[in-house]
Structures are given as structure tokens and as C-alpha cells.
Amino acid sequence: MEKIIQFDKQLFVFLNGLGSEQFDGLWLLITKQLHWTPFFVFVFYLLYKKVGWKHLLLILVSIALLITFSDQFTNLVKNSVQRLRPCNDLEIKDIIRIVKASDTFSYFSGHAANSMATTVFVFLILKKYYKYAFLLFLFPLIFAYSRIYLGLHFPGDILSGYFFGALFGLGFSKLYTVFRKKYFPESL
């Protein structure tokens, strides 16, 4: 396990070191969920076009529950594992670029888990309607990478967040499908 942690730190130092001061502002914008609002509105519009209002409301409620579950589970793990963020890790903090600091724990990334969970969930709905629905996965890739760039998460935090997020998105997709078939059979 120690070798994995050391590799994770080395990979982080390399990826974080690729950053440049001139792009810091851009990555600070990318890391804020609010700045993704136009993208979210566009995705909800695509959903609405294919499924209608009633079904879209069910999707939005499902996403809200999914994010709540994912976020709470992530915080439970973070507070149990208590891995320091790169910006607070005494072994590397003096050799990395710290664009943003935080005093919360690092493992695993809530940004990665939530973005992957919602992307998997929405992708599983949209893939039958849109050939290029897989492009939705650019969102969690860019969004979560911002956390490495800024000095807030190790790559292992991101990959673990992706893994759990994908599981949560898949699980909620199954629950959503069962609920939809039971209470909204006309939407099939």
C-alpha cells in the first residue's frame, strides 16, 4: 500500500507541475459547480426534448437524491480515512503548486464522485437518444482534473471518486428505472 501511496504522490507532483500561473484563473472557474450551469441547462434541455416535463422532474429528483447520497457517503469516507490533501501534505507541499487550499480531508474526491455519478446516471438515459452522449464524460474528466491542478486532490482520490461515483450512478439508474416502470409506465 505504501508503494501505491508514493506513486500517487509522484503522479500528483508531475500532473500538478504541468500547471501555469496564466491558467490558474481558468481552473479556478472550472472547479466551481456554479460555472457549469450553462452545461447543466443544456443537458436538461436535451433530456426534456426526449422525455417531457413529468419525466424530467423525476430525473431531477433522482439526481438530487443521487448527489445527496454520494456527497454524504464521500464525507463519511473522508472523515474515516482522514487523508491529508496535497496542499497540506508535509512531504510534498513545498514542491507543488498550491492554487487553492482547503483544510478538509482528501480521500476520496467529492467532485469526482458527484460528477461521475450524475454523468453515468444521465448518460444511461440519454444514450438511446443521442449518438454522442458519451461526450458527457468530458465533464467529470475536466471538472475533477481541476482538483489536481489546484493542489486539492491526489490522482488516487480522483480515480476512487470516479469508481464510487460510477457505482452510485449505476445503482440510482437501476432504482430510477424500477420506479419509472412502476409509477410512469406510459413514459416507456
Which cell goes with 106?
482528501
**With the C-alpha atoms ordered 102, 108, 110, 111, is the resulting torsion angle positive or negative?**
positive
Residue 184: per-residue pLDDT: 76
Residue 1: per-residue pLDDT: 83
Q: For 47-78, how does the pLDDT look when each residue is reduced to its tens digit (9 = 90+)?
A: 999 999 989 999 999 999 999 999 999 999 99
Q: Is the pLDDT of residue 159 over 90?
A: yes
Q: For 90-111, how does the pLDDT look when each residue is reduced to its tens digit (9 = 90+)?
A: 999 999 999 999 999 999 999 9
Q: For 10-36, how does the pLDDT look when each residue is reduced to its tens digit (9 = 90+)?
A: 999 999 999 999 999 999 999 999 999
- Scan for cell 439526481, then name that residue: 63
Name the residue among 154, 44, 169 with its Cα closest to residue 115: 169
Q: Where do runs of H (alpha helix) occur along 82-137? A: 110-126
Q: For 140-153, how does the pLDDT look when each residue is reduced to its tens digit (9 = 90+)?
A: 999 999 999 999 99
Average pLDDT value for the chain: 94
Q: How far apart are CA 186 and CA 179, in angstroms?
A: 12
Name the residue among 61, 22, 47, 49 with its Cα closest to residue 126: 47
Reported confidence tier of residue 188, pLDDT bands at 50, 70, 90: low
* Cβ pair 117, 166 in contact under 8 A: yes
Please write down the HEC assignment for all residues of 139-160: HHHHHHHHHHHHCCCCHHHHHH
